[in-house]
Amino acid sequence: MPGGNSLPSNKTEQNPKEKKSTNTNTVQTLLSARRDLDKTKARTQPKLPKRTHSELSSESDNSMYTSGLNSLQKDLDEIKTNLQGITKKDDLDILTKDLVRTHDLEIIVTSIVTKLFQRFESTMDKKLNTKLAIVQKEMQEMQNKFEALSIENEELRKQIDQTRAVVIKNKKGLDDSTRMNQEAITSANYNEQYSRKNNIKVMNFPRRENQNLRSDFIETVKRDLYIHLEERDVVAIHRLPSDKPGPKPMIVRLSNSDVKRKVMVNRKNLNNSVRISDDVTWRNMQLISKLRDMNCFESVWFYNSGVYGRLEDGLQLKFNLFDNIRTRLQHKK
């Protein structure tokens, strides 16, 4: 402090708080000592006679000195009180240390986070690279398989094209064969039917022991149809095998178409259960049955080696073995 003695340089500098306490204690000690001294003087000194003007002046000086010390003490107390709310150097030091520690902590945390992020990034890079390598390998394998499948598909396509060409060729050959086969069957059926043009088929003709079929047939035609036949008019006559009960069917070959026509025209005059019809081939019989089963015709019949059908509107159509009947009915031709 100004006017005070300086402390030796080799002594440790005291804390500012300790300095304040020491200064305050010194003033208080002085004041206390002064009061004690005044009290001691008052007790020990005998009662003096009435003081003189100079003595009063001296006492007034002492009173003023004491009053000044008291005022100084009050000012010091007030300063002390005011200083209590002010930040102290120790507080600043503590705060500074805390700030330093916080900064260091931030650096440490930042360093740790950075290292963790770098480690995480490195780990993720490794995992991603590993996964990418696996995916690339799988894609390469898939690409190889795709290329192999493409080659195989191309080979299969070529084989399919070759097979298609063979199928088309075979189909054409089959169509040709089918057409030729149908033509052959139609021709064979026509020839067979033509060979039977003078034949008639007799159903339910009575049977007896030691029967002469030619004589019995000529007699029946003469009796029922009023047609006189010579033995030469009946070229051949015989029964057909059959599993049905009753008399077996009989085939009669007449000498010519004129004789047959006479018999066929007058067959309705037969008086018993005997029936006479054309000798129709098996395929033509199948065609007749097919036309009748369709229920589209008013009547179906065989005439002169052909099969005919009459519609309800009176239209007559001749059908061959392999005709598309539905199409012909739609077009009516």
Helix, coil or strand: residue 178 = helix
pLDDT digits (tens, 9 = 90+) for 252-302: 999 999 999 999 999 988 878 899 999 999 999 999 999 999 988 999 999
The confidence score (pLDDT) of residue 275 equals: 92
Q: Is residue 6 predicted with pLDDT exceeding 80?
A: no
The conformation of residue 277, written as its DSSP 8-state character, comes to: E
Looking at residue 165, its pLDDT comes to: 92
How distant, in Å, are the alpha carbons of 5, 6, 14, 80, 293 from that of 2? 8, 9, 17, 19, 150
Q: How far apart are CA 192 and CA 198, in angstroms?
A: 12
What values do phi and psi take at 311, rounded to 5?
-80, 170
Q: By CB neighbour count within 10 A (0-12 exposed, 13-18 middle, 19+ buried), where does 251 fall?
A: middle
Q: Which of 332, 328, 312, 330 is nearest to 320 (CA)?
A: 328
Tokens 């020491």 locate to: 22
d(CA 183, CA 189): 10
Per-residue b/e over 22-52, b at no fewer than 16 CB within 10 Å? Answer: eeeeeeeeeeeeeeeeeeeeeeeeeeeeeee
3-state DSSP call for residue 316?
strand
pLDDT category at 222 given cuts 50, 70, 90 is very high
d(C-alpha 266, C-alpha 89), whole Å: 157
Q: Is the pLDDT of residue 77 over 80?
A: no
Quote the mean pLDDT of the chain: 80
Cα(235)–Cα(255) distance, rounded to whole angstroms? 6
Show me where the domains of the chain are located.
85-196, 198-279, 280-333
Fold of 198-279: Alpha-Beta Plaits (3.30.70)
User: What pLDDT is recorded for position 234?
Assistant: 94
CA dist., res. 255 & res. 262, Å (int): 12
Contact between residue 242 and residue 201 where contact means Cβ atoms under 8 Å apart: no
Higher pLDDT, 274 or 86: 274
